[in-house]
């Protein structure tokens, strides 16, 4: 299951990176560049650690209330949910 979650996280990281590139190119993109950069770092940490008991970022309230029904937001929330489901054997 962790491998599947890792694929989801990497796919989400790619989507965030694409949105950052849109901002850099002056094109319309979802969310702010600062939020995207922070989220990119969080996703990289999630992929590296793969243990929600050690590292679990939380999204600010404005992200939950974001009016845009973008695919990116759906990916972010889905990835966060799936990451939280990881059960590590100790």
Q: What is the pTM of this model?
A: 0.87
Residue 40's domain comprises 2-84
User: Residue 90 falls within a domain, yes or no?
Assistant: no
User: Residue 23 falls within a domain, yes or no?
Assistant: yes
Q: Which helix (H) or strand (E) holds 24?
A: helix 2-24
Q: Which two tokens stand for residue 39?
A: 């989220």
User: Residue 43 falls within a domain, yes or no?
Assistant: yes
User: Residue 30 falls within a domain, yes or no?
Assistant: yes
Q: What pLDDT is stored for residue 57 in this prediction?
A: 87
Q: What confidence tens digit (pLDDT) does each residue in 15-72 have? A: 999 999 999 999 999 889 999 999 999 999 999 999 999 999 887 766 666 666 678 8
Per the structure, the count of domains in the chain is 1
Phi, psi of 26 (to 5 degrees): 75, 20
């Amino acid at each position: 299951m962790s491998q599947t979650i890792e694929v989801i996280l990497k796919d989400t990281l790619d989507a965030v990176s694409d949105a950052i590139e849109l901002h850099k190119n002056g094109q319309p993109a979802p969310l702010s560049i600062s939020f995207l950069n922070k989220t990119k770092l969080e996703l990289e940490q999630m992929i590296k650690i793969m243990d929600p008991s050690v590292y679990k970022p939380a999204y600010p309230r404005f992200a939950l209330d974001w009016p845009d029904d973008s695919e990116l937001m759906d990916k972010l929330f889905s990835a966060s949910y799936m990451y939280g489901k990881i059960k590590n054997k100790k």
